[in-house]
Amino acid sequence: LFIAKSLLPLLSTACSQALADVTGEEIDYCELFVILAGDFNVNFSLPEAETLLTFLKDKFGLEMINGKNDPTTKGVTIDAVFARNIEKNGTQSFRILL
């Protein structure tokens, strides 16, 4: 099993539990405030994007912040911002992943 340590804070509760079952370490990564932003090269306004949106929500607890129909590049929405625990933005712990 290989999971990059820099990605561990992005895991959802279910993923954290599955990892704990394998490693024997109980670490709750799902409470951290996370923002993921970038050019995903997926047109989020199309039904095909639902697979990615569902994956990010189920596996990482990330919700899309910008609108799926708000054009970002040449009339389509391929750039997106996702966040988790945004209400906890006063926290002292956060990571920036590039």
> Which DSSP string do the residues of 13-81 spell out, in sequence order?
HHHHHHHHHHH------TTS-EEEEEE--S-TTSGGGHHHHHHHHHHH--EE-S-TTS--BTTB--EEE
Specify whether the CB–CB gap between 82 and 35 falls below 8 A: yes
Q: Give residue 2's pLDDT.
A: 44
In this prediction, what percent of the chain has a pLDDT beyond 70? 56
Is pLDDT above 50 for 86?
yes
Q: What is the pTM of this model?
A: 0.64
- The verdict on 2 and 40 lying in the same domain is no
- The verdict on 23 and 41 lying in the same domain is no
- Number of folded domains in the chain? 2
pLDDT tens-digit series, residues 44-72: 999 999 999 998 888 778 899 888 888 88
Work out the average pLDDT over 32-36. Answer: 76
- The verdict on 41 and 65 lying in the same domain is yes
- The verdict on 76 and 44 lying in the same domain is yes
- The residue range of the domain holding 59 is 32-97
- The verdict on 7 and 40 lying in the same domain is no
- The verdict on 42 and 18 lying in the same domain is no
- The verdict on 43 and 13 lying in the same domain is no
Specify whether the CB–CB gap between 59 and 12 falls below 8 A: yes
Tokens coding 33 = 């405030």
- The verdict on 9 and 49 lying in the same domain is no
d(CA 36, CA 51): 17
- The verdict on 25 and 60 lying in the same domain is no
Q: Place 5 in a pLDDT band, splitting at 50, 70 and 90.
A: low
